[in-house]
């Protein structure tokens, strides 16, 4: 009989053709999806050609998404995108998403049903761990590993140990999945889950929607994790119905599976949380951060640019305007989200609040475009990183928050809670 295994170990064992695996074991796995974007794909394509490969292993399993500097902000970014576009056409890549039908990759792939439960997915982007919300093993890799994946459809891994996070109880007012993951990162640190899988379970997740689940898994990398994962349940299956383009396999951890650490969290005691510069782990309660004045608010990204995020922001902003000293930027994460938000009237609320609404892009999150900070400026953002110079000048500051806190802060001109308004 195979040893009791976690969900992560079961997925990796199946893709390695093994009955069982254990943490620390080196394995080679068959891949389901290989992903790259306009920053990483050109490097991967160059390395792909250096191997002597002429055809990708599967034109339907390689995904290319120009999202970081799209729409192209300058000649260099246009050339980067052109490398991707030419390669996609040459290789007849079926999952190439150009402007007008694209989105921020980690919102786009689940939305389009490209990734499904039980997959092993590598992406040349660190936040590829987002897809663990669907019960897949999904992790970021370097461009050279992505190149190898494109060529042969395989990758090697060291099997990660798993930390189990058992979260029970109901969120209080204005508390969301973003506040939960910021709390966890503040609790264990940016290397607290180094090369481990973060497995999330408990009654809180039994009620949590897919948008919040993706937010939680998206930021697993900010604790140093190899991946984040949530087992498939009825909420997942409902989300996938009519959306998934392939059949899927569900895996669940054995009750006797071994976890080096089990961390229990009472969701009922959590409060809206903010990460101060310059680490996601530098967390404080939003209620204790009202003295931080700001210049800009960004609501969007692969972390919090989904429809539910925009609905929450609109709920806070309705009937209000951004502070005279605050630039408010709203970026729906995909074209479908853009259309749905517009149809629901959310755009009217944002425009009435004097917000700028962007086409889908990663843009300001990585300091690319659509909201760069000048020296000494401060921004509240629903993004995932606040390292030095992340959104612009090295002396600027980024404060990470949920959409609710970001929207309230835009109105107040300083870090604020919706109930402050």
How many angstroms separate the CA atoms of 327 and 33, rounded?
A: 38
Residues 6+ apart with CB under 8 A from 76: none
How many angstroms separate the CA atoms of 406 and 344, rounded?
A: 21
Nearest in space to 406 (alpha carbons), one of 345, 317, 338, 325: 317
Low-confidence ranges of the chain (pLDDT < 50): none
Residues 6+ apart with CB under 8 A from 222: 181, 185, 190, 280, 281, 384, 385
**How is domain 7-264 classified at the architecture level of CATH?**
2-Layer Sandwich (3.30)
Backbone angles phi, psi at 359, to 5 degrees: -65, 155
Provide the Cα torsion 376, 381, 386, 391; round to 10°. -60
Question: CA torsion sign, 174 to 179 to 180 to 183?
Answer: negative
On the question of a common fold for 7-264 and 273-420, the answer reads: yes
| Spans of all domains in the chain | 7-264, 273-420
Quick one: pLDDT at residue 2? 76
Which DSSP letter does residue 78 get?
A: H
What is the per-residue pLDDT across 112-121, written as a single tens digit (0 to 9) for each?
999 999 999 9
Terminal-to-terminal C-alpha distance of the chain: 60
Contact 106, 128 (CB under 8 A): yes
pTM here?
0.94
What is the per-residue pLDDT across 383-418, written as a single tens digit (0 to 9) for each?
999 988 998 999 999 999 999 999 999 999 999 999
Backbone angles phi, psi at 112, to 5 degrees: -85, 0
Q: How many residues does the chain have?
A: 421
How many angstroms separate the CA atoms of 303 and 310, rounded?
A: 12
What is the per-residue pLDDT across 244-271, written as a single tens digit (0 to 9) for each?
999 999 999 999 999 999 999 999 999 9
Q: Which fold has domain 273-420?
A: Aconitase; domain 3 (3.30.499)
- On the CB side of 117, CA atoms within 13 Å amount to 23
């Amino acid at each position: 009989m195979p040893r009791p295994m976690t969900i992560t170990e079961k997925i990796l064992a199946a893709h390695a053709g093994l009955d069982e695996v254990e943490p620390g074991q080196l394995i080679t796995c068959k891949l389901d999806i290989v992903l790259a974007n306009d920053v990483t794909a050109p490097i991967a394509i160059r390395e792909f050609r250096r191997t002597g490969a002429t055809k990708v292993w599967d034109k339907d399993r390689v995904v290319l998404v120009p999202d970081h500097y799209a729409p192209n902000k300058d000649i260099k970014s246009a050339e980067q995108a052109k490398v991707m576009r030419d390669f996609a056409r040459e290789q007849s890549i079926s999952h190439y998403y150009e402007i007008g039908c694209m989105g921020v990759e980690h919102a786009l792939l689940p939305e389009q049903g490209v990734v499904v439960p039980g997959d092993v997915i590598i992406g040349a982007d660190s936040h590829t761990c987002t897809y663990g919300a669907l019960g897949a093993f999904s992790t970021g890799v370097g461009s050279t590993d992505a190149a190898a994946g494109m060529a042969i459809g395989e990758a090697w891994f060291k099997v990660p140990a798993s930390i189990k996070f058992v979260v029970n109880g109901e969120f209080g007012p204005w508390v969301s999945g973003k506040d939960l993951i910021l709390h966890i990162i503040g609790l264990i640190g940016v290397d607290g889950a180094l090369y481990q899988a973060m497995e999330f379970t408990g009654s809180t997740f039994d009620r949590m929607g897919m948008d919040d689940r993706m937010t939680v898994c998206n930021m697993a990398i900010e604790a140093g994790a190899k991946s984040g994962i949530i087992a498939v349940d009825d909420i997942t299956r409902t989300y996938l119905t009519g959306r998934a383009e392939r059949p899927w396999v569900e895996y669940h951890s054995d009750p006797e599976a071994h976890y080096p650490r089990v961390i229990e969290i009472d969701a009922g005691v959590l409060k809206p949380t903010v990460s101060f510069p310059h680490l996601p782990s530098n967390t404080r309660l939003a209620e204790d951060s009202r003295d931080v004045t700001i210049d800009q608010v960004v609501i969007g990204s692969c972390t919090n640019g989904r429809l539910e995020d925009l609905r929450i922001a609109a709920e806070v902003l309705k009937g209000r305007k951004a502070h005279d000293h605050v630039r408010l930027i709203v970026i729906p994460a995909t074209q479908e989200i853009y259309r749905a938000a517009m149809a629901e009237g959310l755009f009217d609320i944002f425009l009435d609040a004097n917000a700028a609404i962007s086409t889908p892009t990663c843009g300001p999150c990585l300091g690319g475009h659509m909201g760069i900070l000048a020296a000494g400026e401060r921004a509240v953002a629903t993004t995932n990183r606040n390292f030095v110079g992340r959104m612009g000048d090295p002396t600027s500051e980024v404060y990470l928050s949920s959409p609710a806190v970001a929207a309230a802060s835009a109105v107040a001109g300083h870090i604020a809670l919706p109930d402050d308004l």
